[in-house]
Amino acid sequence: MVTYLDAATAPLRNTGQIRLYGEEGFAGMRKACDLTARCLDELVSMVRPGVTTETIDRFVFEFGMDHGALPATLNYRGYTKSSCTSINHVVCHGIPDNKPLKDGDIVNIDVTYILDGWHGDSSRMYPVGTIKRAAERLLEVTYECLMRGIAAIKPGARTGVIGAAIQTYAEAERCSVVRDFCGHGVGQLFHDAPNILHYGTASEGVEMRPGMIFTVEPMINLGRPHVKVLSDGWTAVTRDRSLSAQYEHTIGVTDTGCEIFTLSPKKLDRPGLPA
């Protein structure tokens, strides 16, 4: 049975219970998520052919330090980088390295900052130079999946409405939804309850209540949904080597719907795509 508890009195560990945050929590998340969104905005001009993901990762670290924030991924369960950079057929958790980006690549950059104890988690897709129409279409479909999932959020509905909206649209566009990874509760913890599936039916999942905070982060493939994790223990790739894309926002459930905490201040939520 699912239980909900006041985040102000909850222990700082994942108990499987769902935290409900008040205005103080929402205010803290706005600040942390705004910093993450501003970092992702700055990366728009950096992502180009010849730049390494290690250079991008170094910027993410320094940007956080300059603003009093720590990258949540740094030393998380042995992970040694400040961001995840997932290129082409990498689904998620790609590790930054010294290999230069190439014209035609697509790359997801996933950043989470901890600011004053609050976790701001978001990711965007970035086209590198000129990309093929198939890749551009995948980015368009994936972003639309994200926003359709978010549009379904309202108190009283079950979290399954998010996945149902995403899966319905993705499959109508002849794409597939990755099942192996999901969104998650976030706030004072990096990963918390509940899990947010990006597929399924509207009647599944837990009831959404005002004060819940979680991520929506669909991973959409041009080919089949199956993935595998490489020997480094982190990098997940499509088994058929088809292109994969992901966008992510952190969301707070309100009395009437939801608030997106990680919107781009510069309206660059989908870099390189037509307005």
Q: Annotation-wise, does 259 bind a ligand? A: no
Q: Annotation-wise, does 93 bind a ligand? A: yes
Q: Annotation-wise, does 198 bind a ligand? A: no
Supply φ then ψ for residue 25, to 5 degrees. -65, -45
Q: Annotation-wise, does 226 bind a ligand? A: no
Rounded-to-integer distance, Cα 87 and Cα 148, Å: 24
Q: Annotation-wise, does 249 bind a ligand? A: no
Q: Annotation-wise, does 119 bind a ligand? A: no
Is residue 37 a contact partner of residue 27, using CB atoms and an 8 Å limit? no
Q: Annotation-wise, does 89 bind a ligand? A: no
- Binding residues are 93, 110, 121, 184, 191, 217, 248
- Binding residues for a divalent metal cation are 110, 121, 184, 217, 248
- Binding residues for substrate are 93, 191
